[in-house]
Structure 1
Amino acid sequence: MRFFFRAVFILLAIMPLSGAVFAQNNELQTEDITFHGNENIPAGEIRKVMATKFPSVFSWFPFVKRPVFNESVFKQDIRNIENLYQEFGYYDVIVHYTLRTNLATNLVRIIINIREGRPSLLDAINVSVTGQGRGNALLIQGIEKSILLIRGTPFEINVYDKSKQNIIEYLGNNGYPNATVEGRAVVDKQSFRVTANFNIFTGSTTCFGAVDIMGNTIVKNSDILNELTFREGQLYSRKAVFDSQRNLVQLGLFYSVNIFPSSGTAGSFVPMEVRVDERKERTIEIGVGYGTEDRFRIQSAWTRRYLLGGLRTLRAGIWHSSLTEGANVTFNQRYFIDRQTNLSGVFGYQRDFFVSYSNESLSSEARVSRTISTYIQGYAAYMLGLNRPVSTNPTIVQQLRATNPGAYYFVAALRLGLEYNTVKDIIYPEHDRLYSLYLEPASHLLGSSIDYIKAIFEARVYEAITDSVVAAVRVRVGAIEPYRFTTQIPIFERFFAGGAYSIRGYGYQQVGPKDSSGNPLGGDYLFESNFEFRFPITKNLIGVSFIDGGNVFLTNFDLSFSNLQYGIGAGVRYNSVVGPLRLDVAFPFTPFYRVQFSNYQFYVSIGYMF
């Protein structure tokens, strides 16, 4: 069994970097591909237009086969490279290659020589505007700003095409939805000069007409109209239509929303139709799931939408798992004060069943959240909580004297949060960032029986490092400091680490200081880091290899390399209809020393770790 896990782990861990295919013994295999002469286009860009597979950096492994070499495919790659250079203005480029074949090993080394030549520079930009917008100086100025080409620089055909798209988009957002852009670039190969022509027909000016709302029987017309970013008489804008549809969907009141011009309409004013498919006012939802740590879990929620005839939602939920159970009621009021601000409140009971202790809590919170910009959101909340540790191991009580089983702890605190989030695809982000900061000061001035300040910072970075491999990094740092008459933090407010969503390779909450019986004590300081390679295996199957590291500290940070605990492993994610199904296997890991294959941990859950 131990050998099996070693073999599976090593195979999965190198899969994202191998990319090898298995070839028959009598077929030529690619040993190496090198480029010479490509001074202005990086090799990475050239590789993107090639169908010929490049050998893996792990090709020296005995079981990693090199890619099969197909010369007919490679010759088409040479033509693709020439076309690529021409797209960047190098019209007299010459590409040739040399094959060095070793018949004894069936390996071929490929050398691609590129003579880039002289680039053709953009000499002139000619813009011709016809239609009703011809004499509009501001409109023409906007058209010129939409052109990305720069005189005196190498002419790039993709920038020329993008400029045409920008013009269409600009006109479509400024009252000319039927505009067209034609034209071509004229290349003088003798003088290496290019003239870019744009022939623009704006058509007639178009404005939004009357709005007809259909499909709503519960939501008022006025609430739907308030979500539209256009009004009757305004210049037609495709962006305004898209933004209006997005606003209505985000209300959570409709299954579907469609906004489009009324059929058969023509002229300067276009009537608009808004068709919605309303969700039911009252719904009951039941969900079940399974995770390695919380085992079988079930939850149910009753939701009342459009409460009291407005944009208010009331929700009551209950849940149970092997780690936690509880019930709560939440209320949400959209557009509190203004359209960027929401008000919410929650009141609930929860009981937690952790390794070292169990805790009962009754809590309430009032929160005001605000959208600051497209990517930045923040919130401020006031929280009241009554906590009672109901079951704590005796050895824990001896070391954490601030934790008295059966005693009540009244906590009153402010909760402040700020988040910067550019993640667009939550399933498989590739070029995104998420940074969050959380502060929680609890004070006797607010009515709290314990005084502390808690802070948590988290950063997540997702970056595609090749066409198929995404590197994902997460760092989480937390600290809690007692003050005034509070000298020690009760166990229910301390940090814990280890497990499927923390540091893999260890059991739940098993990273950090422990008592003499091996029960986790938690700590006042936390550091967690996770690094993943994510790579596609099939259309719906994603492979992952990862290294995690971190620790929990009792009294102060000690981030030296030797004081962190590490885990290493691999896994898969299957994109199912209920979300990504996740399976990981991980092992405790001592850097530069050994992997503890005998102490493996399996993790099964739904969704990505981060």
Structure 2
Amino acid sequence: MKPVILIIAVLLFSLLVSGQEDLVIDKVSFEGNSSISASRLRDQMIMESSSWFKEKILGKQPVLFTQSLYKEDIKRAKIFYQKEGFLDVEFSEPEILVNKKNKVEVTIHITENNPVTISEIRFEVDSAHQLNEVLKKREVRKIILQTKASEEKVFRDETMQRDKLVIAEVFYDSGYPYTKVTSDLNVDTLKKTTSIDWSIDRGPLSYFGKTSVSGNVRVPDKSILRQVNYKEGDVWSKKKIDQTQDLIYNQGNYRVASVRTQLGTSPSDTLPITVNIREAPRWSTRFGVGYGREDQFRTFADIQYLGFFTNTGRLNFYAKHSGLEPYNVYLKFSQPSFLFSFNTLTLYPYILRQNEPGYKLDKNGYSITFLQNFSEELSTSIGYIFEDVQLDTTNFAGIDNVPDEETYYRKSGLVFGFTYNNSEPILDPVQGLVVSFGTKTNDVIWKNEIPFVRMLADVRTYAGISKGIVLALKAKMGGIVRTDDNDFIPVEERFYAGGSYSVRGWSRSDLGPKDESGTPIGGNSLFEASAEFRFNVGRRLKFSVFTDAGNVWHDSFSYHFNDLHYSSGAGIYINTPIGPAGLDFARPVFDTESKWQIHFNIGHTF
């Protein structure tokens, strides 16, 4: 009977649609698609709704309904469903209605049935070894945490392709450029499950050969080859290739800097490297505008000249305006590879006006800094800074009792800092540690000009609890102290807490000491801590819950942990090519203050 019923249904469908052929499609809708949104299904189809806006404004021709077009769209939608793990999806005959506008309304009925889930994932290397037998513990964790497929989750083709690249990358970084990764699926059609067997063939262990350079005109070969992050004869590593490419590109003189391995038709244990260069134009400009809740309207312009003074020197003129910085203008000269491939010298004269909640001031000065990137994880900086500072008024930041001569002051001193960062991935870490420390000393050359020492330490760690769940922790501590008998600390050097990247239940600089009018006056000691759970709730969507704590105290290096302020909240983020972007909603807890704060951020707050 089933073949007869099917034939009758096809005949009825053919008779039904014959009267609607070549009519404009007014609306396409779906019923039964609980797992996949209508918008994603429409992306697979040529049939689309018509509208006045599409026709008159966008100039699109309306789509005409035909039986052949419908069948092709259903075929594409079915393939899409199967790639999403729904192997037994069914599409019933559609409802086709000619409305009063003499246009066709199409309703597509879908029975998704249960998707195929992953029952087990296994790895085998060279047909004989397990992952932990050939890889270090950290590399094994990278595969486990960064691959998306996991047991009891729905099987998806897109996830498999991405995971294949993650697995191969780990072996590329270990010296195996010929690695091949394949997978076998064992589908149980009754239980609607599949196991995944990853097979990794490493190929030979390879080594770096000779490196050649091409495409450069203005910059000599030797300036480029100084940036190479390996030696001939070292074990080949894709990571070192990428690092070398970054070091060359970061010289800032190239539009394209491509470092490639010449892989022969047959596997080889010695691989020559080519560096292809396309130099950037000498003159370039950048402009931008934006809006933020704290800095309000902002705009900037950046003009750059390459090859200034040396073959690789860069000169930048930068100007910015925002609510927090009414003007910020500087001229910066950068000389990459100053002493070593990882060393950069910068000379930086500037003028700046700051308009913070606790103070307003104008300052001008310059700095000389040496930046060192010792590795992908470790970087340091050391330099000298000189500033002239003029406070706009004397009723900001609790300095009513400061002598007039101290509303203008001079600062000069040494600055030093380092950052260790092995977290990965860079824009959205799921594991690793970030440690940064900075210190600043004033009154090195100009004596009796407000001598002080300022220190700030920041520690962040990321732990992948399970697939799609990350625990992020942060602790931050700072202190500043005068090194003479005076107690005046410049307002811009004091610590402030509260805001988007601080304790999120408060507005910018709203935590800590205040004057009689409620204006933040800053303090000499700072402590902040945060704990945040981050959840993947879709391919591009993230959700977070967090608790922040912190405060600022007047005395130097004096921390009262029974006097912390706390806030809790949640955030929602969308993954973008430049990192997560979204909103945080937070309010104080255990506090008389109870107002909600909303913060917009590009990138995680830590």
Counterpart of 1:384, as a letter, is F
Residues 167 and 504 of structure 1: CA distance in aligned 2, closer, same or farther (over 3 Å): closer
The residue identity in structure 2 corresponding to 1:602 is I
Instruction: State the secondary structure of the residue aligned to 1:492.
Output: helix
Aligned to 1:293: 294
Gaps of 5+ in 1: 1-20, 23-50, 52-69, 89-124, 128-145, 150-163, 182-197
Partner of 2:318: 317
Paired letter, 2:223: D
Alignment CA distance shift 1:353-1:207 (3 Å) = closer
Post-superposition CA distance 1:298-336 (Å, at most 9, x none): 111111223234222111101111111210111111222
Q: Structure 2: which amino acid aligns with 1:333? A: Q
Instruction: Indicate the percent of aligned positions where both proteins have the same amino acid.
Output: 25
Secondary structure, aligned partner of 1:308: coil
Q: CA deviation at 1:551?
A: 0.7
The residue number in structure 1 matching 2:554 is 554
**Equivalence for 2:388:** 386
Q: How far apart in 2 are the matches of 1:244 and 1:215?
A: 17
TM-fit CA distance, 1:522: 0.9
What's the CA shift string for 1:508-541, capped at 9, x where partnerless? 2110111111111211111111221111233222
Structure 1 residues 349 and 588, CA, compared in 2 at 3 Å: closer, same or farther? same
- Contact 2:585/2:597 (<8 A) preserved: yes
Confirm or deny that 1:604 pairs with 2:600.
yes
8 Å CA contact 1:172, 1:178 repeated in 2: no
Structure 1 residues 517 and 359 mapped into 2: Cα distance closer, same or farther (>3 Å)? same
Structure 1 stretch 256-265 or stretch 324-333: which is displaced more? 256-265
Per-residue deviation, 1:468:
1.4
Question: Post-superposition shift, 1:242?
Answer: 5.0
Match runs of 1:321-340 below 5 Å: 321-324=322-325, 325-340=327-342
Query: C-alpha distance in 2, partners of 1:516/1:259?
Result: 64
The answer for the alignment partner of 1:261 in structure 2 is 262
* TM-aligned CA deviation for residue 429 of structure 1: 0.3
Secondary structure at 2:385's aligned position in 1?
Answer: strand
Partner secondary structure for residue 396 of structure 1: coil
CA distance in 1, matches of 2:204, 2:506: 64
- Return the offset for 1:230: 6.8
Cα distance in 1 for residues equivalent to 2:537 and 2:202: 46
Aligned to 2:428: 428
Instruction: Give the partner amino acid of 1:609.
Output: T
Give the Å deviation of 1:367.
Answer: 1.2
Distance in 1 (alpha carbons) for counterparts of 2:390 and 2:509: 20
Cα 1:446–1:381 change in 2 (3 A) is farther
Q: Which residue of 2 aligns with 1:40?
A: none
Task: Report 1:111-130 matches (<5 A).
Answer: none
CA contact (8 A) 2:175 2:207 kept: no
| CA displacement, residues 103-137 of structure 1 (integer Å, 9 cap, x when unaligned) | xxxxxxxxxxxxxxxxxxxxxx999xxxxxxxxxx
Q: Is the 8 A contact 1:454 1:481 kept in 2?
A: yes
Spell out the pairing of 1:510-525 with structure 2 (5 A cutoff).
510-525=510-525
In the alignment, is the contact (CA less than 8 A) between 1:390 and 1:405 conserved in 2? Answer: no
Cα distance in 2, alignment partners of residues 349 and 394 from structure 1: 21
Which position in structure 1 is the counterpart of 2:464? 464
The aligned amino acid for 2:500 is A
Shift of 1:481: 0.6
Deviations 1:65-110 (A, max 9, x none): xxxxx99978x73xx3xx76xx79xxxxxxxxxxxxxxxxxxxxxx
Do structure 1's residue 455 and structure 2's residue 455 form an aligned pair? yes
Higher mean alpha-carbon deviation, 335-344 vs 468-477, is at: 335-344
Assess if the C-alpha contact under 8 Å between 1:451 and 1:485 holds in 2: no
1:408 Cα shift? 1.5
Structure with higher RCO (Cα < 8 A, 6+ apart):
1
Task: Check the 8 A contact 1:290/1:604 in 2, yes or no.
Answer: no
Contact 1:362/1:387, CA 8 A, preserved across alignment: yes
The equivalent of 1:352 in structure 2 is: 354
Is structure 2 residue 491 aligned with structure 1 residue 495? no
CA distance in 1, matches of 2:393, 2:548: 31
* Alignment partners' CA distance in 2, 1:341 and 1:284: 25
**Alpha-carbon separation, structure 2, partners of 1:437 and 1:537:** 34
Residues 512, 552 of structure 1: 8 Å contact kept: yes
How big is the shift at 1:484? 1.7
State the partner residue of 1:505. 505
Q: Per the alignment, in what secondary structure is the counterpart of residue 245 of structure 1?
A: helix
Q: Which residue of 2 aligns with 1:281?
A: 282
Note if contact 2:433-2:461 (Cα within 8 Å) is conserved in structure 1.
yes
Q: Look up the equivalent residue of 2:303 and give its one-letter code.
A: W
2:511 maps to amino acid: V
- Residue 425 of structure 1, CA deviation: 2.3
CA separation in 2, counterparts of 1:608 and 1:171? 30
What's the secondary structure of 1:501's corresponding residue? Answer: coil
Counterpart amino acid of residue 319 in structure 1: K
Secondary structure in 2 matching 1:248? helix
Say if 1:200 and 1:71 are closer, same or farther in 2 by CA, change over 3 A.
Answer: closer
User: Which one is further off, 426-435 or 441-450?
Assistant: 441-450
Structure 2 CA distance, aligned partners of 1:178 and 1:536? 33
The structural deviation recorded for 1:359 is: 0.7
Match of 2:307 in 1: 306
Alignment-derived partner of residue 136 in structure 1: none
Q: Distance in 1 between matches of 2:174 and 2:419?
A: 35
Provide the rounded CA distance (Å) in 1 between the counterparts of 2:426 and 2:466. 19
Q: The residue matched to 1:247 in structure 2 has which SS? A: helix
The residue matched to 2:309 in structure 1 has which SS? helix
Supply the AA of the counterpart residue of 1:473.
L
| Distance in 1 between residues matched to 2:473 and 2:263, nearest whole Å | 48
Letter in 2 for 1:465: I
| 1:164-243 superposed matches below 5 A | 208=209, 213-228=213-228, 237=236, 241=241, 243=243
Question: Is 2:358 aligned against 1:362?
Answer: no
Across the aligned residues of Structure 1 and Structure 2, the Cα RMSD in angstroms comes to 4.2
- Please tell me whether the aligned partners of residues 358 and 389 of structure 1 are also in contact (alpha carbons under 8 angstroms): yes
- The letter of the residue matching 1:603 is H
Deviation per CA, 1:570-598: give whole Å up to 9, x if none.
122223356533312211111xxx7865x
- Alpha-carbon shift at residue 415 of structure 1 (Å): 0.6
Letter in 1 for 2:426: I
Are the structure 2 counterparts of residues 304 and 494 from structure 1 closer, same or farther at C-alpha, using a change threshold of 3 Å?
same
Distance 1:476 1:425, change over 3 A: same
SS in 1 for 2:398: helix
**C-alpha separation in 2, matches of 1:467 and 1:179:** 25
How far apart in 1 are the matches of 2:332 and 2:473? Answer: 33
Matching residue of 2:63: none
Could you report, residue by residue, the CA deviation over 1:160-186 in whole angstroms, capped at 9, with x for unpaired residues?
xxxx9999979967xxx77999xxxxx
Counterpart of 2:280, as a letter, is R
Q: Structure 1 counterpart of 2:382, which letter?
A: A
CA distance in 2, matches of 1:544, 1:171: 34
Whether the 8 Å CA contact 1:297–1:322 is kept in 2: the answer is yes
1:443 is displaced (CA, Å) by 2.3
Give the direction of change, closer, same or farther, for the CA distance of 1:248–1:505 in structure 2 (3 Å limit): same
Deviation at 1:202, TM superposition (A): 6.2
1:575-590 alignment to 2 at 5 Å? Answer: 575-577=575-577, 579-590=579-590
Q: Quick one: distance in 1 between partners of 2:532 and 2:203?
A: 50
Query: Hey, what's the Cα distance between the residues in 1 that align with 2:135 and 2:473?
Result: 34
Unpaired stretches in structure 2, ≥5 consecutive residues: 1-33, 36-84, 86-112, 137-166, 182-199
Distance 1:498 1:341, change over 3 A: same
What residue in structure 2 maps to residue 248 of structure 1?
248
Q: Which moved more, 1:488-497 or 1:365-374?
A: 365-374
Q: 1:423·1:432 contact (CA, 8 Å) conserved in 2?
A: yes
Larger mean CA deviation between 404-413 and 478-487 belongs to 404-413
Alpha carbons of 1:365 and 1:266: their partners in 2 closer, same or farther (altered >3 Å)?
A: same
Counterparts of 1:321 and 1:439, CA distance in 2: 27
Say if 1:266 and 1:351 are closer, same or farther in 2 by CA, change over 3 A. same
Offset at residue 563 of structure 1 (A)? 0.9
Residue type matched to 1:471 in 2?
A: L
For 2:473 and 2:600, the matched residues in 1 are separated by: 21
